[in-house]
Chains A and B, each alone.
Chain A
Amino acid sequence: MTARKQSKPRNEPYSNRIPMPFEKAVEGLLSVKPKRKTTNKKKKKK
C-alpha cells in the first residue's frame, strides 16, 4: 500500500468507500505469498 492510499479518509463515517482497515485486510490477504521451501535439509547423523 502506498502512502497516497494511506492518506485517504476512508474511516470517516461520511466516506462512502469501503473502510480502510477492511481494505487493508483484503490487500493483506491478497499479498500473502507462499513461503519458500528451505533447501537446508538436516544432515543425517552418521
Chain B
Amino acid sequence: MGKSEGVRHLNSEREAAFPNLASSDYEVTSTETTQYNCIAHAADDHERKWDCAPFPIPGYYWPRGAMRGDGLDALISAFETLGYTVCDSDKPEPGVDKVALYIDGHGEWAHAAKQRDDGHWSSKLGDWEDIRHASVTALEKSVYGTAVRFMERPATKKVEAT
C-alpha cells in the first residue's frame, strides 16, 4: 500500500516524524491548527486541547471526574466520561464509535485516534494537520508509541473535522 495520485500528504519533514506513514495509505484531511490536539479530536471537541495538569491551564481541558496523570488509566478514564468502554478489537462495527489509545516508550499516554465510519482512522498530529490513516499502525514507531487499547461506545451523531 502506498501513496495515491491526487491525495494530499504531509510535507516530507513532517512525514519523517512518523516512519510508518510514508508507506501506508493516508491523507491529510484538514489545515493545521493549534486550536485542539489529538485527544480533543478523538473526543470530537475542536475548541480546545485536552490534557491534564495539576491545575487549570488556559486552552486546556480535562473532563471533570477523570483521573489525571501520564498513565494510560488517566486517558481511559477521560474517554469513559464520554461513554466509552474498553474493548478488544479495532475492527469497525456498524453503530459503534471506536478510539485507539497509544502509549509511548515510557508507558505514558501519547496519542488517541478515532475510527471513521469507513473503518479508517482519523488523527490530529499535535499542532499539525488531521490525517486519515488506514490502520492504527501507521502512526506507530514514532513518539506516539504503540496503540495498546481500544475503546467503544454506541455511535453518536458526529461532526467531522474539516
Residues of chain A having any CB pair with chain B under 8 Å: 4, 8-9, 12-18, 22-23, 26, 30
Query: Does B92 lie at the interface of the complex (its beta carbon under 8 Å from any beta carbon of A)?
Result: no
Query: Does B72 lie at the interface of the complex (its beta carbon under 8 Å from any beta carbon of A)?
Result: no
Stretch at the interface among B83-91, B125-133, B149-157: B125-133
- Residue in A8, A12, A16 with the greatest tally of chain B CB atoms within 10 Å: A16
Query: Does B3 lie at the interface of the complex (its beta carbon under 8 Å from any beta carbon of A)?
Result: no
B81 to chain A, nearest CB (A): 18
Given A16-B37, A16-B111, A22-B57; A4-B106 close (CB under 8 Å):
yes
CA–CA, A22 to B55, complex, Å?
A: 12
Given A4-B106, A26-B53; A16-B128 close (CB under 8 Å):
no
> Are A17 and B110 in touch, CB under 8 angstroms?
yes
What does the 1/0 interface line of B47-73 toward A look like (CB < 8 Å)?
001010111010010000000000000
> Are A13 and B143 in touch, CB under 8 angstroms?
no
Query: Does B78 lie at the interface of the complex (its beta carbon under 8 Å from any beta carbon of A)?
Result: no
> Are A14 and B14 in touch, CB under 8 angstroms?
yes
* Chain A residue at minimal CB-CB distance from B102: A16
Query: Does B17 lie at the interface of the complex (its beta carbon under 8 Å from any beta carbon of A)?
Result: yes
Those of B99-138 within 8 Å (CB) of chain A: 104, 106, 108, 110-112, 124-128
> Are A18 and B143 in touch, CB under 8 angstroms?
no
CA–CA, A18 to B70, complex, Å?
A: 11
Q: Which residues of chain B have C-beta atoms less than 8 A from A9's C-beta?
A: 143
